[in-house]
Amino acid sequence: MANISKRIHEEEKMNHSRRPGRIWVWAATIALTIGLLSWGLPACSAKTTEGVKWYGYEEGMKKARESNRPILLYFYTDWCTWCKKMERDTFSNPQIQELLTQGFIPIRINPESKEKIRVDGKEVNAADLARNFGVRGFPASIFLESDGSPISPLLPGYIDPDSMGKMLAYVHEKAYQKMTFDEFARQRS
């Protein structure tokens, strides 16, 4: 009987000494979950850029040809923190929204979607379209003529509202036909 009592006491001691470890694991798991949930918000969606009417690739290219307006082609993913920041800070900026709405056809592509896109009569997936434009990370943007030919090289990474405003003005005013972007930006500073 003494052996059983001793064993029970030792097991209780062991279980009791393990509890703080379990509590820490539980607390860490909850903290990590809350952190991940808050880090992921707000999700990339139309709500974060509600002032900009984003087009799909086919519809946007058609509209650009019909209206003879340049295109801002924007590549993003749902998990990309910098994409969310760009949509929240840059594309939600009223001046950026006005410039995009009045002078451009904005096209937004998620290369991780299962979307099939028709390009020059061939059906491709969104990831192949991104690769064709040289996208290797997110976000990435490129300005195109209304016929789809590139105006700018691919612009990788986050673009703040001030820089985006200058880029939009540079393309809208067709200043790229006369000077480099750096010359244009110096004139605007």
Over the stretch 110-156, which tens digit does the pLDDT of each residue have?
999 998 999 888 999 999 999 999 999 999 999 999 999 999 999 99
The answer to whether the beta carbons of residues 143 and 70 sit under 8 Å apart is yes
User: Does the model's pTM come out above 0.85?
Assistant: no
Over the stretch 143-170, which tens digit does the pLDDT of each residue have?
999 999 999 999 999 999 999 999 999 9
Tokens for 144? 């195109």
- What is the CB neighbour count within 10 angstroms for residue 75? 24
What are the Cα distances from residue 61, in Å, to 7, 69, 76, 106, 167? Answer: 77, 10, 18, 10, 20
pLDDT score for 51: 82
